[in-house]
Amino acid sequence: MLSNIRNWGNSGGTLLPAGLLAKAGLQIGDPIEVDEKNGVISIRAAEPKYTLAELLASSPAESVSLSQEDTEWLNEAPVGREVTK
């Protein structure tokens, strides 16, 4: 596919046809990563970045279990100058 780089503010840009986006599994508004290596520009879907809160919220509680040793450790009283809340 041939296209042209067009002036876009202080940058350059090009249009990506809907069919090409569909083949790549991309939609309008999707985050992408744009890289250059050895003179070749590549565009790909960005890997999602999750916060710890999002990961924990999406994890079923039954998938996380504490061992007997973990439970005992969590229930131990402080032995020094630890700050507990």
> In this predicted structure, what is the pLDDT of residue 82?
78
- Which residue ranges form the domains of the chain, and what is each CATH number? 16-62 (2.10.260.10)
Mean pLDDT of each 10-residue bin along the chain, 85 residues long:
92 94 94 96 92 89 84 87 75
DSSP 15-63: ---HHHHHHTT--TT--EEEEEETTEEEEEEPPP---HHHHHHTS-GGG
Q: Rounded to two decimals, what is the model's pTM? A: 0.54
